[in-house]
Amino acid sequence: MAPLSIAALKLQMSDVIRAQPLPPEMLVQSKNRAADLLKSADYKEGISALREKRHPKFKGV
Higher pLDDT, 48 or 14: 48
User: Is the predicted pLDDT of residue 46 greater than 90, yes or no?
Assistant: yes
pTM beyond cutoff 0.95: no
Specify the pLDDT at position 5.
85
Q: Are the beta carbons of 16 and 28 closer than 8 angstroms?
A: no
Instruction: Domain of residue 3: give its range.
Output: 1-14+24-61
CATH number at residue 2: 1.10.12.10
Q: Are the beta carbons of 4 and 60 closer than 8 angstroms?
A: yes
Domain count, the chain: 1
Specify the pLDDT at position 3.
85
CA dist., res. 2 & res. 46, Å (int) = 8
Does residue 19 lie in a domain region? no
Q: What is the pLDDT of residues 2-36, one digit of tens each?
A: 888 888 889 888 888 887 787 888 888 888 988 99
Kind and range of the H or E run holding 32: helix 24-38
CA dist., res. 22 & res. 49, Å (int) = 36
Does residue 40 lie in a domain region? yes
